[in-house]
A and B are shown apart, each in its own frame.
Chain A
Amino acid sequence: MSNTTARRRSGTQAGPRRNAVLTIVMALFVIYSFVPLAWLIINATKTQSDLFSTFGLGFGHHFALFSNIADTLTYKDGIFLHWLGNTLLYVIVGAGGATLLATLAGYGLAKYAFPGRRAVFGVVLGAIAVPGTALAVPTFLLFSKLSLTNTPWSVILPSLISPFGLYLIWTFAIDAVPTELLEAARVDGSSELRTFFTVSLRLLAPGIVTVALFAIVATWNNYFLPLIMLSDPRWYPLTVGLSQWSAQATGAAAQPIYNLVITGSLITIVPIVVAFLFLQRYWQSGLTAGSVKA
């Protein structure tokens, strides 16, 4: 009897029958994920008075998306565009530098034996455990002592070091770059740096894209660090700027610009969402690599 149940069970398993209940459960998850985003998109099309007078998930009397975008970009002499430029600067220099440093070091740790390698590895593993937010206040205190606060460097420098990025490249490089290949290049007389640029870099590309993507997200979304480092609005990234706009709605001299906060939020998330959608293949394989080794 147990034999027949076994056969019946394995039958359902082998021919993967779709399960409606499971699909409904997952649909609920998707609704949960999408409702706030839908709210954002819908409300970015409303004027400030429509925001208050019409239903939250319905459209307003006027379709004001384009005028909202224009107002967001031109408010206070186009400070939003300034913030966008700052964010791009912090992302390109900060995340770009972080990816470069992590790639070089992860590759070096994975493929070379040198004195102190174990110590380096121990320090890096320890640094992974140090959360970035816990570092923000100490870094601020040090930077204010060095008069580095309120400069772009105060945001860029701390984002240059990504111990987790190094760890990902390290685990990736062990298998992705065959040691025999490096030895063959050595016998051919290629310098180590040249081998890195001509041979290894291409093999490391999927890992590098993953690390770059997560570094970009981390810098693009960075809030705590620039909030404490910067006092001049002209150096703000988008995140800090938007929170200032939002704070403007309350207090003594309240000047609510909810429609601009909402439209600005939408503009802020679009590039990152697009990047994630287009680079799916890379970050998904990167996550797998990380989880296998961990």
Chain B
Amino acid sequence: MIAEIGLAALWLSAALAVLQLVGGFFGARDENNELRALVRPAAVLQAVLCVISFLCLVWVFVITDLSVKLVASHSHSMKPLAFKISGAWANHEGSMLLWITVMAAAGGLIALIERRLPERTMMATLASQAFVAIGFYAFILLASNPFERLSPVPTDGNGLNPLLQDMGVSFHPPTLYIGYVGLSVAFSFALGALMTRNVTPDFARVMRPWVLAAWIFLTIGITAGSYWAYYELGWGGWWFWDPVENASLMPWLAATALLHSASVLAARDALRTWTIMLGVVAFSMSMVGTFLVRSGILTSVHAFAVDPERGSFILALLALYIGGALVVFALRANTIAEGQRFSITSREGALVVNNVALSAILGIVLLGTLYPLLTEAFDVRVSVGPPYFNPVSAIFLVPMLMVLAVGPLLRWRKDSLSRVKWPVVVSGAVTLAVLVAVALLAEIDILPLIGLALAAGVGIASFMPLRGRRLRRTPLAIWGMCIAHFGVAVALFGMAADSAFQQERLVAANVGDTIEIGPWEATLQSISPVAGPNWTAMQADMYYSYEGGDLMEGHPQARSFWAPPGETSEVALITRWNGQLYAAVGNMAEDGRWQLRLWWKPFVTWIWYGGLLIALGGALALVGRVVSDLRRREAEAQGEARAYPDEAEYADYDDESSVPAAETQS
């Protein structure tokens, strides 16, 4: 019964999406069309029904209703409750339902909250959102129904892939999806603005918080995913350039570029077509990523549903939406008037460099991800890995980080470098000093060396925009920017330090042996069997001491699951402020010794702290923008402020300006 309710709710949502599309289409053409009144309620109701449908799926997983095929093939009555719940989306059908739920929720939220856009643009936006959603409803309902029944009912389920039986999976996919699919909003806004020829600074201000929200979730999702891969796969790496990791990175790069170019559009009415283009590209990258993952066209650890028929379906959707958007773009872009001009040495100029670099890295990652596919068409099998991605992206990353240090200090429109001479000299000097010092003291590769130096320079430079400001009066958005940029430096430092100074040992140890690794001594005390709810494991009881200090415990396990059968490595992590000791236990050799794998990873945790700081910066900026927007609305309602302050003042108010003008006025 519950499964049927879920399915019915999903069909109803699909029908509402059609209504939203039709109403939105006519509403966008003619502001007085009566169908217009249906659009917002349809979007909101669609969101509610989708959430109901998703909850139904979670519920059948919670009660392990084995008559539902999806439950039978991916769950098991013995599984802990948390993993029963996360099992609902740790499979193809469930994850697509999560996808459409997020998409409907995003559309519903816009319909409910957003009142600042001209009505016609809003209608076109909601119509685009519905248009994209309809394709995915069709995909779920026709080709991957999560509520399909099974007869006869099996006695128990197949269980969940042991790798996915981890708290990380409860958290990582939903967060990532909110970000990933949340970008559909940018796509719809871009198309809406394009179709109604309304690419204005106001439009950019409306779009920005929505993109920012999706981007925050995407940042957290990627960070969490990286940490999950790090401790769950047991390989000690935190980024593998796996096609699916790239699929989440590409929308992030596009969205990051979009956020920065939207700032230019909001403050200075420049980069109009470019901003629209990025809006289209960001969500297109989400869809391409979904296609790559779900079609099984590339081999990846995430490819849990390899089905060419589904692949063809998604490909058709992809061609329709991305191709359609690009064609609309090509037809309409030249009707958008050129924006304001600006000099190279200006805030806009720096942001353009940032955009070019981010787009170039996006192109590099896309090329590297698709290259095996391209050569395979000519019967050559290659795999593209870090030797390509790391140095080639560094070519653009290094100049981008240099500009990141300087750009926020520059004024809009036109500025001179001599005005910001001192902060630039200070950060440059720090970068050089670290570069020389590290190069003299340690023998490390060139990329980590540059990384360490730039991390130091950017770390200092990221707080330079606060110079000369009264800190308590500095808008939250500026704090957000500084913290996000600082997060970049922190993450970069973690990456560089880990790859430069990490130590690894693979040993066969007897019980009682002590292994030295870096500043650590690890002792294998005993090996004992332990049992969990649906697994058994050999657990190594180990004691660790840092530079001869206090003993710390950590218990790496080699786990065997029985439903479905599989093995995972549960690593032991000893975390200090300056790094992590990473221990994994393998099999017993024939002579009774145990395989132990130990890594000392200096500052590796900073990678994820950095990622979280970036997200925190985004969150502060979002709160700052929303609060200032609410205040402005309040003021407008009371008639105290002019409804449309002119551009420069607006920019100050929004604090797009680098000049602390607000303070001199007060």
Partners in one complex: no
Please list the residues of chain A having a beta carbon within 8 angstroms of any beta carbon in chain B: none
